[in-house]
Amino acid sequence: MDPLLLALLFLTLGVLLIGIEIVLIPGVGMVGILGAALMLYGVYLSWINYGAAWGMISLVGGSLGAGLTIYGFMKSPLSQRLILRNQQEGEPSDLPKRAAQLVGQQGIALTDLRPSGIAKIQEERLDVVALDGEYIEKDENIQVVRIAQNSVLVTRIEKESV
C-alpha cells in the first residue's frame, strides 16, 4: 500500500479514536492513547517517506483535525446535555456559625453511627460522626464534642448523666 495512504489512514483513525475517547469514553484511557499513537505514527510515515515538509503538514493537519473534533463536540447538542451549566442552589451551611451553641448539647442517635449517621440534637436532624470511629447504636444518647471541618463530632453518654 502507498505510504501516503497509510499515513492518511493512521491520521484519520487517530483523530477518530480521540473523538471516540472524548464523546463516548471520557478520561485518558487506552482509546485516546491509541489514537494519539496512530496519529504520531501517521506523521512518522509521512516524514520518513516524503520529507520534513510533508511531516510537518501531516503533524499540523492531524493536530487541527483533533482540535476541530474537540471543538465540534463542545458545540454539539450532545455535549450541552452532558455538561452541567447550572449553578448549585441553596444556602451554604451555617454549621460553623452555630458551633458554639451545639458543642455540649445532648441528643439521640436516630441511626446507627458507624461511625457516621443521623442524630437528633435540639429537635434538629443532623449528620454526625462518632468521635474516634466509635460505633454507637440507634437510640443511644450522645453529646456533641466539637465541630471539625463541617462535621459534628459526637460521643456516647451514659443514660444516668442525661
pLDDT tens readout for residues 25-45? 777 788 889 988 999 999 999
pTM of the model: 0.48
Secondary structure (3-state) at 87? coil
pLDDT digits (tens, 9 = 90+) for 98-117: 877 899 999 999 999 999 99
The share of the chain scoring above pLDDT 90, in percent, equals 36
CA distance 155 to 142: 5
CATH match for 99-161 among 1.10.357.10, 2.120.10.30, 2.40.110.10, 2.40.50.140? 2.40.50.140
Structure confidence at residue 103 (pLDDT) = 92
Task: Tell me which residue of 150, 152, 110, 115 sits closest to 130, measured CA to CA.
Answer: 115
Neighbour count for residue 35 (Cβ, 10 Å):
23
Cross-strand bridge partners of residue 153:
129, 146
* pLDDT top residue among 85 and 67: 67
